Structure 1
């Protein structure tokens, strides 16, 4: 899977300058440092241009007059100019290193902050490798641009202008010879910028695709080995790697051709100026010192001119990286939180009527943002009321929308129509932080992080301590944690893959109950457990469910029996609500679901 490729802006191709200008808010705090660094680079270049003038003085003065002390003095001046140039270049590097590393770190933090606040639908569409490459490789390219090309585009531009002014003042006819390649170079750079920009974007997108394959292969290594698919994965990786190699060679080819022409044209001009200058010296129209100074100045301008292609390449790489960065930063966020209530009444629900208390869904509809326009909603007109302290089981066929419905309550997705209320208050009127304090969720596919077992559980409640941790582990029958090498401080590894599926599921259940939430959403939390462990967990879970309002997605009669009532989800609607025994007697679809082979004890 590859990331969505963004189309060029309407009305023309992407502007490199406009893309890079978007970095200004991040670079503004270090603008003083960047200005001083640029000044150091300009001064270093100017010292380099003074050196030819010193050589002219040496040749036309002490050398022509056969004055050894004057030659030594001239040599000392040239050496001091070289030391000053080197010192300023070193100072520039030292000045920008720390501040620009800070800019990169702030951009990466802003990127991560944004990812955490983008809706789940965004993460459903974007491959993780594309996001990872934007947070690492792309931001490194941005830092390189700010530390090198941004400074040297200014310094080299000033150097070229001052250098050609010096050349024209020394001998304008020779200066015009050196100016001859300017127009062809401008045309070449314009053509190069357009082509290289496209190649840079393609290459960076392919880095993201390659990162995705590598990440999926590492996380799915058990599946790959289990099915003997390592050769197929290697082939997929090799194909994507070949595409990346192709785009990198395309960039190298473009840069090589431009650099060759940018180098050759000025060299030809210097050669022509040399021949013309020698003729003028022979005719007595030009002093030898002036010719030496002229040629030394021309040679000093070689690097500023020849670096144009290299600097343009880095600028285009950085512009493509900036575009990719802002594709994520510009992605629409979830609707903003409601303003938090003030005063002692904040968070209280005593004003809700008896009818409104508990969890209520009224006319709820949901359609995925990227679903075809003609496709029916996943959920339509869902009406459901779970009374305070009640446990409701939600059952339905595979694909009926049970998991989608549970995701609407903590606002992992927002309903496209209808209302969801907690004790009479719409969840959209609650700040998300407050909502997710009230509602705790355990997903069918448990996700653990590269942390200790205890830290994974305590993520479910801010401020919970050792006592809450032990209670939650006991409810989830996760006593195996105490037998781990370092107890609950044992690191469980990436995604918790060092544990079995049942162990991961029990830790996820412990995480859901550790904070004694007011509302509990359990999405088939016992599917990976054996019958004996399931019975133990259900027995302990009954005590928790007695003190909370819960919605439990269930596929097995044993889980359904935890509930006070059962809701049947069918065709995107709640088709029936009642006790387990009532629905068994009065609803054929429910009876069929509960009597299927997969539900028999």
Structure 2
């Protein structure tokens, strides 16, 4: 069987892969390119305006104040005020444009991710934890949105501001400018070391969040089992171990970030103290004007936010790159089941298995091999076999929930792999032994396979499946039945799932032990109604009871991974010991009645 957990990429490759992953998502930015350009342009203009205000301050101090020119102070003051208003207006424009762009990017990625998840085969979903998938669709995409809307923009702005401000400082008074340049060197080195370490910690935290989400989801879905066995403490301990592990990794992330941000806080302040000391000496020696020193200090203070924010932005960048890596792990998984280009315009429902074989990935043993079975249009065949014989796998090959690994399955002479997915799955409908219902109304669940079904058709399907209980729900068919239909009994869920398959009006109807949870009386009523439905469709019925086998025109015995016998129920019962043994109790009852 396939492994049950995610295979995670090795940490040694994480940095290179994550950087590449974030770059590969750039295509989602393209539809919003003009908004993004507007964001960048307004932000850069705002930076240059903000840097010009200290220069206006220098002009005020060294000019009108030094010359005691009151009129000059007014005009320069009005200029500074105008610059501040323009800067505020640019910020307003940037944020207004920003919201739609970044939310649009997140929505587009989430849409494609969800569509891709639906296109992936059952083997993928069996291998991946649902919590890991959930964390990628929610928290990872939010991380990417925050970086694309805030971090990426300010990374560019802050770099530009650092470079431009450093150039201005060197031009104002180069000895003090050199102090700033020298102070920047250890910041750059530390930032590079921080980036390498933070990406590994960030990946570990995000993976462990997925593990915790998986545990919560499993506990919520299995709450009845947990309560019935009195295993609340066991479930809590299992959750607590994962939560404590996540806490430890998160604390490692916080400690790493705290050391880096503390360093970014201390070094710029030390450089500022040194600049004030040397600048005061230069002013005292008339090597530097007071206005220039004030402008220099103001500009240097304007660097503190970009330097301090560097840690936050780099952390966001690493988290976004890790999130992109995790998202692309899904998007890069190529769907192994891809539809062909043939559409059945008027399917008759002639189903054939021709030497069909199947084995799970990473397995050396065939679950099925050399399966040959011919089911003519309108004919119903019961598949009988021991538990684990491969009956569910066999029925899953028809709608391509799995694909054959040998031989082929055909409908009306066309290999199912050559049919479009829509054509195939509108031709075939399946009702499973363990039915899945969705957190929507009973009506929406029933019409899932055929959204255009009329009320009369839905009512007929409900009658066929003996699911009239839906009319007694608080709001009838419009009652929301809750996640997984947990508010219903097992038999009610099976009947609702059976009605859903009947509503679809398929040419091929697959019943995978759909009646197992019904009592004898209800089963008899359902079987009587199903005969009318199966009279107009090709039927495959997985059966464990003789009463269910009697729905079919003939029975097929599945053993040893292949169909060994096909014939009338009475013939197989009389001539095939293995078949008789599987249906021993019902066979004895039949013999007793016949005698």
Q: Same fold (TM over 0.5)?
A: yes
- Is 1:359 matched up with 2:351? yes
| 1:9 Cα offset (Å) | 8.0
- Asked if structure 1 preserves the Cα contact closer than 8 Å seen for 2:58 and 2:291, the reply is yes
Residue matched to 1:519: 508
Shift of 1:78: 3.0
| Paired position in structure 1 for 2:593 | none
- Contact 2:573 / 2:587 at 8 angstroms: preserved in 1? no
Map 1:93-492 onto structure 2 (within 5 A): 93-340=95-342, 347-348=345-346, 358-369=350-361, 371-372=362-363, 375-492=364-481
Size of the aligned set, in residue pairs, is 587
CA distance change for structure 1 residues 430 and 16 in 2, over 3 Å: closer, same or farther? Answer: closer
Match of 2:519? 530
- Structure 1 range deviating more: 74-83 or 481-490: 74-83
Does residue 2 of structure 2 align to residue 4 of structure 1?
no
Residue in structure 2 matched with residue 56 of structure 1 by the alignment: 58
Counterpart for residue 580 of structure 2: 591
Name the CA distance, whole Å, in 2 between partners of 1:516 and 1:135.
34
Q: What residue number does 1:545 align with?
A: 534
Report the alpha carbon displacement of residue 214 of structure 1 after superposing the two structures with TM: 1.2
> SS at the partner of 1:339?
coil
Residue 211 of structure 1 aligns to a residue whose secondary structure is helix
Q: Match of 1:14, SS?
A: helix
Q: Is 2:514 aligned against 1:501?
A: no
Matches of 1:37 and 1:567, distance apart in 2: 67
Of 91, 94, 97, 1:92 maps to 94
Report the more deviating stretch, 579-588 or 498-507: 579-588
In 2, distance between residues paired with 1:319 and 1:596? 61
Q: Residues 75-90 of structure 1 correspond to what in structure 2 (within 5 A)?
A: 75-90=77-92
Q: TM-score normalized by structure 2?
A: 0.95
Deviations 1:459-494 (A, max 9, x none): 232422111111111111112222222222222111
Distance 1:451 1:13, change over 3 A: closer
Give the CA deviation at 1:336: 2.6
Note the alpha carbon deviations across 1:190-236, whole angstroms, 9 max, x for none.
11111111111111111111111111111211111111122222222
Change (3 A) 1:100 1:46: same
Q: 1: distance between equivalents of 2:544 and 2:287?
A: 100
- Tell me how far apart the structure 2 counterparts of residues 247 and 87 of structure 1 sit (CA, whole Å): 42
Match of 1:354 in 2: none
What do the CA deviations read for 1:36-70 (whole angstroms, capped 9, x no partner)? 11111112221221121112112212222233443
- The Cα shift of 1:564 comes to 1.5
The range that moved more, 134-143 or 13-22, is: 13-22
Question: SS of 2:426's equivalent?
Answer: helix
Structure 1, residues 252-289: CA drift from partner, whole Å, max 9, x if none?
Answer: 11111111112222222222222111111111211111
Task: Please state how far the C-alpha of 1:15 moved relative to its aligned partner.
Answer: 5.0
Secondary structure class of the residue paired with 1:23: helix
Contact 1:127 1:212 in 2 (8 A): yes
Which structure 1 residue ranges, 5 or more long, are not aligned? 351-356
Stretches (4+) displaced over 6 A: 597-601
- Choose 588-597 or 198-207, whichever is displaced more: 588-597
Q: Is the 8 A contact 2:183 2:271 kept in 1?
A: yes
Q: Which residue matches 2:22?
A: 20
Higher mean displacement: 107-116 or 73-82: 73-82
**Residues 1:257 and 1:349: Cα distance change in structure 2 (over 3 Å):** closer
Residues 223 and 285 from structure 1, CA distance in 2 versus in 1: closer, same or farther, beyond 3 angstroms?
Answer: same
CA 1:403/1:177 → structure 2, altered by over 3 Å: closer, same or farther?
A: same
Shift of 1:597: 9.3
CA gap 1:599/1:442 in 2 versus in 1, 3 angstroms: farther
CA deviation map 1:131-156 (0-9, x unaligned): 11111111111111111111111111
CA-CA distance at 1:4 after TM superposition: 2.5
Query: TM-score, normalised on structure 1?
Result: 0.94
For residues 571-593 of structure 1, what are the alpha-carbon distances to aligned partners after superposition, in whole Å with 9 as ceiling and x for unaligned?
Answer: 11112122222122211211111
In structure 2, the partner of 1:582 is: 571
Name the counterpart of 1:37.
39
Q: What is the alpha-carbon distance in structure 2 between the residues aligned to residue 358 and residue 324 of structure 1?
A: 43
Residue 596 of structure 1 and its aligned partner are, at CA, apart by 5.5
Cα distance in 2 between the residues matched to 1:15 and 1:509: 46
Of 60-69 and 250-259, deviating more is 60-69
Closer/same/farther in 2, CA of residues 528 and 599 from structure 1, 3 Å limit: farther
Alpha-carbon contact 1:8-1:14 (below 8 Å) kept: no
Gaps in structure 2 of 5+ consecutive residues: 591-595
Instruction: Judge conservation of contact 1:19–1:323 (CA < 8 Å) in 2.
Output: yes
